[in-house]
Structure 1
């Protein structure tokens, strides 16, 4: 199972960004990652400065979004959608897209639910429970104006 360290994950984004800027060929997950990075211009300056941001912490109690976690969540959601795993996640995504008429907003709403499922698994020391994920996704389609 692929389980990169924090440093490996961050280096993946820095390297992909540098390759893109240098017009070098991108392969595999880099192709997906660059599309995600391009939709987040607020991170471009950070991606240009690996020496400054490679080791920076983003403690949740300070309220700052961890850009590397954010990009990685987009990658995880992309992978889930591409293989419809957990089974049925693609249908929930399509409902969110129809509701918001905005794929990026739908993915950001999914991130909240994915984070909730991960947090519950960590808190309870259990495996990921897609029922928690789907319950959250259903609530978003029912309660979002």
Structure 2
């Protein structure tokens, strides 16, 4: 399993933004990330200043989304969709995207479910419950 450090994640997204902005060829993972970066122009200034991005601390009290966590979750959900893991997530995300007429908004709803699954796992000390995550996304897709 690939488990990059916070520093590596920030370097990846800042580097990908720079390459995307400059029209430099991207490797496949960078191309996926660039698609999500393009969807989030509100993060472009932070991604452009890599030195500041590497030092920035995002707190809940600040009331602001951590752009690196947000973009990482988009990539995770994109990968889940691509490999259909947990089994059924591709169909659930496709249905949700169709219902909302937006892949982006569907991913934001899936992010909430993914975040809830991780939080519950951390709180309980048990492994993440992929079935509960999938059911939350399915429920959103069919309501």
Range class of TM-score, shorter chain: over 0.9
- Give every structure 1 segment of 4 or more consecutive aligned residues whose post-TM-superposition deviation is greater than 4 Å: none
Question: Which consecutive unaligned segments of at least 5 residues does structure 2 have?
Answer: none
TM-score by length of 1: 0.92
2:86–2:134 CA contact under 8 A, matched in 1: no
Q: Which residue of 2 aligns with 1:32?
A: 32
- CA-based RMSD of the aligned residues comes to 1.3
Indicate the residue corresponding to 2:118 in structure 1.
118
Query: Which residue of structure 1 aligns with residue 52 of structure 2?
Result: 52
* CA distance in 1 between partners of 2:78 and 2:142 (Å): 23
Please name the residue that 2:135 is paired with: 135
| Mapped partners of 1:135, 1:82: distance in 2 | 18
CA deviation digits over 1:31-68, x for unaligned, max 9?
A: 10011101111111111111122221111233210100
Query: How far is the alpha carbon of 1:12 from its aligned partner?
Result: 0.2
Secondary structure in structure 2 of the residue aligned to 1:81: helix
Counting matched residue pairs gives 143
Structure-1 separation of matches of 2:96 and 2:60: 26
User: Unpaired runs of 5+ in structure 1?
Assistant: none
